[in-house]
Amino acid sequence: MLDSVRPKRWLRVGLLMAVGNLAVFKYFDFFRESAQAALHALGIAAILPAVDFLMPVGISFYTFQSVSYLVSLYRGELRFARARELGLFLAFFPTLLAGPICRATGLLEQLRSGERRHILQLDRALGLIVLALAKKLWLAGWLASAWVDPVFSAPETYHVLEVWAAFYAYAFQIYLDFSGYTDLVTALALLLGIQLPRNFDAPYLAHNLRDFWRCWHMSLSSWIRDYIYIPLGGNRLGFARAQLNLLLAMVLSGLWHGASLKYLAWGGMHGLGVVGLNLGDKLLGKEALSRRLTWLARLLTFHYVCLAWVFFRAPSLEDAWSFLEAMAGTDQELTLNAPGFLALSVAAFAAQPYLGTACERGIAQLGRLPWWGKPSLLAGCALLIIVVSPPGIPGFIYYQF
């Protein structure tokens, strides 16, 4: 039977096809331009051919899900999927554009279940939709229009306090933007009778970078661990090799986000940060700082993550350095209420341990309302959010990946 035959060569062929497809569409121009620059530096006047590709929608996410299917098949964790089952797994519309990245052993097994499908946790799904609107349309939209977009476009024209405000604003924007999207697709999946994996768990409360990556974009970080870090050898080949594997995995994570040097810098910063943390654990004892001064550890971790976000958000490496230089001081007049926003940021950071619990309790209260009260309350909340949100249709940060 085919199900019992799992030759490694077919796994390699499948992985080569899946990853090769992603490499051609997403990274051809990056490697062509890099090779072109290297040739010019060597004095070789060759011109490499350029190809204009139309990027397939969601290629990064269904490539990762394809890899999980092939590896699970090779390991004997599931049986071969029929074409329509596999197609539905790879093109499941709520997660197609920006995840969460679903494992074949999770989503595919739910999709092929022969049981009659029904709505799951209706009250939770409706509450998550309203929460997603508040995060994405209102809060993330306001942060983008009022602080992030204008200041990042020309940081040298703003007062130093305004630049620092944008520094924090982007950290909150990208979290609200992405977690709001995750809340929305989780709700849509529940309405279709599907449970999706959790993707965020209060990441800015992390007390070190390891903890941050256990709580941020959890489906991606676990995928990198299982399909890149562990196959490279993980920590099985000694401490030094484990650090090299970690650094390589994080750099590849940065490259996955985009074919640009700024994303390589972002991934490299996180990789070096985790390696430095591991070295500190080895010299001083495991999590020596966070065990003694938890809030200081959280503040240091948050600021390191924010610093890396500058390279993630800036249009280029040069723009990232310009932003950091502006953080050191500018001679511009203060035109925005930066002190008020900085005070709000401090309050929001301090309130994090309670906000998640408050949202969960609010969603749970929906179940106690009469049937006629739920649509009235939810419609009223949605209308209020739309009224107070910035005009226009906001973009979504992770659609570009």
The residues annotated with a catalytic role in the active site are: 257
What's 68's DSSP letter? H
Amino acid at residue number 296: L
Distance CA 152, CA 134 (A): 24
Name the residue with tokens 């039977």: 1
Complete DSSP assignment for 204-222: GG-SSHHHHHHHSSHHHHH
Total count of residues recorded for the chain: 401
Cis peptide leading into residue 100 (ω within 30°): yes
| Neighbour-count burial for 114-147, b at 16+ CB within 10 Å, e otherwise | eeeeeeebebbbbbbbbbbbbbbbbbbbbbbebb
**Cα 384 → chain centroid:** 28
DSSP state of 159: -
Contact 271, 250 (CB under 8 A): yes
Distances 325 to 21, 164, 269, 328, 336 between C-alpha atoms, Å:
39, 11, 18, 5, 19
- Nearby residues of 203 by Cβ (< 8 Å), 6 or more positions away: 175, 212, 215, 216
